[in-house]
Each structure stands twice: as C-alpha cells, then as structure tokens.
C-alpha cells in the first residue's frame, strides 16, 4: 500500500515536472538530468536519501561507493533506469524512465552517476565475462559455485564429482578462494567382496589468492595472477586425490572483443611437493564465446568453446588436448544466478579417456541473496 502512495507522491511532485521538461532537450548535461530525475531518491551525491526523507523502506544503493559502482556495467544501469526496477528483479519503487526520457538522456544520467565513485583502481564490471567450465577467469569475484561432473567408463557410469567454490574479493583488486571437491565412484570397497560398490570421497581441497595486475577498459583487457595451494585431503587410491601438496601458480587473461564476443585464457603449472606421487604438469586453456540477448534486457545466453592442453613434465608424455563446448545462461532477472552445461571431449590420446559432462550453478552473492530478483 505504501508503495503506490509513495509513487503517487513522487510522481506528482518530485520528478514528473522535470522529466517532462527533459524530453527532447539533449543539451541537458548528465548532471542536470540526474539532479532533475534521480536525485529525489538517490540524493544529489548519489549516496541515497535517508529512509525518513524518501518515506519508503527499500534501501537505496550508494553510487559513490567504488566497491559497488565499479562492478556494474553502465549499460545494465541504463537498462534498469529505462525499464524500471522490476525488469531486473529490483523494487518497483525504482521507476521506469523509458517514457519520460530518451535513451540518450538516460545514458547521460548514468554516465554522470558513474563519475560519483572514485573507482579507477577497481577493475570494471565490464570485465566480468561469462565463466567457462574449466578456464579460470581474470576478473575478481564474489561468488559461490556448485559444480558437478559425470564421467563415463567402459560399460557404465565411472564417477560423479562435485565441487563447492567460495570466492571473495578484498582490497581494490584481490580475491581469495576456497575449493572443496567431493565425489562418488564405483570400486571395490569390501576386500572380501567381488562386487564393486559406490562410495563417497573427499577430493583435494584448495586455497588460492588472485590479483588483477593489469586492466584497461579502453583496450578491453584484464590480466591476473594467482597462487593456489592444493591440499592432500582426497583419497588417492580411489582417484580423488594426488596424495601430496601441490603448488599451482597461474596467469589468467580476459579480452572483451567487438560485437559481444570475448576470449579468456589461462596458463600455469602444477608443482607437487612429493614428486613420487605426482608429476609436474603445465597447462594452457583458452575459451572463446559470445553473449546473446534474444529479448532486449532478457536472459543472457553465452555459448562458449574451450580448448584445454596439458602436459606432464615426464619423459615420453604427450600434450593432451580436450575441447569443451558449453552454454551458460542467466536464470533470474537480476542475472546473478547462472547455469552452465557442457561436455569435455578428448581430442587426442583417446584411449581410456572418456567424455565428461560438466555443469555448474553460479551465485554472484554480492548482487543479492539466492532467491532475490527472480
Ligand atoms: C522514486 C525514487 C527513485 C527515483 C526517482 C529513481 N530511483 Fe533508482 N532506485 C530507487 C530504489 C528504491 C532503488 C533500489 C531498488 C532495490 O534495491 O530493489 C533504485 C535502484 C536503482 C538502480 C539499481 C542499482 C543496483 O543495485 O544495481 C539504478 C541503476 C538506478 N536506481 C538508477 C536510477 C536513475 C538513473 C534514476 C533517474 C533517471 C533513478 N534511479 C531514479 C528509487 C528511485
């Protein structure tokens, strides 16, 4: 009940008049457009007016906070201002300006909002390219990822793998990460029985830190470096662990390409502490894809293809190649819950290597609770 009352109030007084005046007056600067149309709620400084001033309970974002402002591409903000809060799963108190302002005027107002935060040292949300199934991203995330894999073996299902990844940003350009893998496989658990059974296992947990060393939005490039420590928590005998600590340094690179295409690449090395149990390995991965919106401001579909190369640094070992076609899709209006499904297919050395079905469900928790914005 409060909402319509407030909208009426604001509609009648605060911005109906300025916004009608706004039509056709492209000479108006972004700042003037913002002050006339948005500041009634968002405040002249963009910090959001107090609840007592605006008379509603929905918290207003702080556009002057670089940690918030740097993550959101200007085009997403312009979309929200054009179509209103509910178009992206936000409150209906955030009005739709699609009728009152032209798209140029909305973009000018958003461009002004983007100047309110001093976020030069924060990698822009434009670098937040769709996450490939295997290749690591250069952008820093606040995410929880639930991923799974199904591996075939001769004559049946070989194993089911699962992984929970928690990622959190700190400072302007750093992130830490914890990985908890687990799985089920069919094997001889009871030594006296001749029948294999399904058993659950923990995999090798990992801790990592990542830092964005370089980013340049004009060029569309971002480069990060990371150091990961893999712990021998998994069961080596059942294939769920390496049985030794492994240090894994790697570099990741993201490139925004014209027409919504993108490229992401990662290269690194696995250095086991105990070389009796695991070999040194080098790897390189590349992902190429494009994002599509079939309906303006609707679900985003991102088909991608990854090529993976890995080589154990031991005499006689060949480079092993895989290809991973996949599709990521945003599931909700806020676009902070995503699903990706693909299949990892061996390209060479096929003997004993089977296709693996891979999937993840990703929750960008900075953008809201799991059930917000559907
Ligand atoms: C009647 C009050 C009101 C006016 C006027 C208003 N907004 Fe908002 N706006 C809100 C509220 C409330 C939210 C928060 C919605 C939520 O969190 O569910 C919001 C959220 C937003 C967001 C989403 C930020 C995010 O979390 O990603 C953007 C972008 C935005 N407003 C831009 C604008 C622009 C641009 C204008 C002027 C053209 C404007 N708003 C005018 C009330 C208003």
Query: 199-248: per-residue pLDDT in tens?
Result: 888 999 999 999 999 999 999 999 999 999 999 999 887 778 899 999 99
**Interval 66-77 mean pLDDT:** 90
- Each residue of 26-37: pLDDT tens digit? 567 999 999 999
Ligand 1 proximity of 221 Cβ (cutoff 6 Å) = no
Ligand 1 mean position, distance from CA 44 (Å): 13
Residue of higher predicted confidence among 374 and 9: 374
Ligand 1 proximity of 335 Cβ (cutoff 6 Å) = no
The whole-angstrom separation of Cα 296 and Cα 115 is: 26
Ligand 1 proximity of 85 Cβ (cutoff 6 Å) = yes
pTM confidence score: 0.86
Residue of higher predicted confidence among 46 and 315: 46
What domains appear along the chain, each with residue ranges and CATH number?
2-114 (1.10.760), 125-367 (2.40.160.40)
**Interval 351-368 mean pLDDT:** 93
**Interval 158-167 mean pLDDT:** 93
What pLDDT is attached to residue 2? 47
What pLDDT is attached to residue 17? 40
What pLDDT is attached to residue 27? 62
What pLDDT is attached to residue 352? 84
Ligand 1 proximity of 122 Cβ (cutoff 6 Å) = no
**Which residue has a Cα nearest atom 26 of ligand 1?**
61
Beta-carbon contacts of 144 under 8 Å, excluding residues fewer than 6 positions away, are 164, 165, 166, 167, 362, 363, 365
Ligand 1 mean position, distance from CA 94 (Å): 4
Ligand 1 proximity of 72 Cβ (cutoff 6 Å) = yes
Ligand 1 proximity of 116 Cβ (cutoff 6 Å) = no
What pLDDT is attached to residue 21? 46
Collapsing DSSP to helix, strand or coil, 251 comes out as: strand
Per the CB < 8 A criterion, the answer to whether 362 and 374 are in contact is no
Ligand 1 proximity of 342 Cβ (cutoff 6 Å) = no
Ligand 1 mean position, distance from CA 301 (Å): 26
List the single range of 91-95, 158-162, 189-193 with lowest mean pLDDT: 189-193
**Which residue has a Cα nearest atom 25 of ligand 1?**
61
The tally of CA atoms less than 13 A away on the side-chain side of residue 23 is: 7
**Which residue has a Cα nearest atom 33 of ligand 1?**
81
- Name the most confidently modeled range: 12-16, 90-94, 200-204: 90-94
Q: What percent of the chain has pLDDT over 90?
A: 74
pLDDT at 106 over 60: yes
What pLDDT is attached to residue 20? 43
For residue 97, the ligand 1 atom closest to its alpha carbon is 38
**Interval 156-169 mean pLDDT:** 90
Task: Provide the total of helices (H) and of strands (E) in the chain, helices listed first.
Answer: 8, 13
Ligand 1 proximity of 94 Cβ (cutoff 6 Å) = yes
**Confidence band for 22, pLDDT divided at 50, 70 and 90:** very low
The whole-angstrom separation of Cα 234 and Cα 273 is: 15
- Name which of 286, 221, 284, 308 is nearest 257 in CA terms: 221
For residue 33, the ligand 1 atom closest to its alpha carbon is 38
- Name the most confidently modeled range: 11-20, 284-293, 345-354: 284-293
């Amino acid at each position: 009940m409060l909402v319509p009352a407030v909208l009426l109030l604001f509609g009648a007084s605060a911005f109906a008049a300025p916004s009608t005046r706004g039509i056709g007056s492209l000479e108006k600067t972004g700042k003037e457009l913002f002050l006339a149309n948005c500041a009634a709620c968002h405040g002249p400084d963009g910090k959001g007016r107090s609840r007592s001033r605006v008379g509603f309970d929905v918290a207003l974002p702080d556009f002057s906070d670089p940690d918030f402002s740097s993550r959101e591409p200007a085009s997403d903000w312009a979309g929200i201002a054009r179509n209103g809060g509910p178009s992206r799963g936000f409150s209906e108190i955030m009005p739709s300006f699609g009728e009152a302002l032209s798209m140029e005027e909305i973009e000018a107002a958003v461009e002004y909002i983007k100047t309110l935060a001093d976020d030069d040292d924060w990698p822009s949300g434009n670098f937040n390219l769709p996450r490939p199934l295997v290749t690591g991203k250069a952008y820093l995330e606040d995410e929880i990822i639930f991923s799974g894999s199904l591996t075939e073996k001769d004559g049946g299902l070989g194993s089911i793998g699962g992984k929970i990844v928690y990622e959190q940003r700190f400072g302007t350009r750093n992130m830490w990460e914890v990985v908890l893998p687990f799985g089920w496989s069919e094997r001889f658990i009871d030594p006296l029985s001749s029948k294999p059974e399904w058993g659950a296992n923990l995999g090798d947990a990992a801790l990592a830190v990542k830092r964005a060393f370089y980013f340049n939005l004009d060029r569309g490039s971002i480069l990060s470096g990371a150091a990961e420590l893999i712990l021998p928590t998994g069961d080596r005998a059942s294939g769920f662990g390496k049985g030794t600590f492994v240090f894994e340094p790697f570099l990741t690179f993201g490139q925004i390409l014209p027409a919504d295409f993108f490229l992401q690449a990662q290269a690194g090395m696995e250095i086991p502490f105990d070389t009796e149990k695991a070999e040194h390995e080098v790897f390189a991965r590349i992902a190429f894809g494009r994002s599509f919106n079939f309906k303006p401001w609707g679900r985003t579909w991102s088909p991608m293809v990854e090529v993976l190369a890995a080589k154990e640094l031991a005499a006689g070992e060949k480079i092993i190649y895989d290809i991973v076609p996949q599709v990521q899709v945003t599931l909700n209006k806020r676009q902070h819950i995503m699903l990706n499904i693909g299949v990892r297919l061996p390209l060479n050395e096929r003997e004993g290597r089977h296709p693996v079905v891979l999937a993840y469900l990703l929750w960008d928790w900075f953008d809201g609770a799991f059930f917000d914005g559907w």
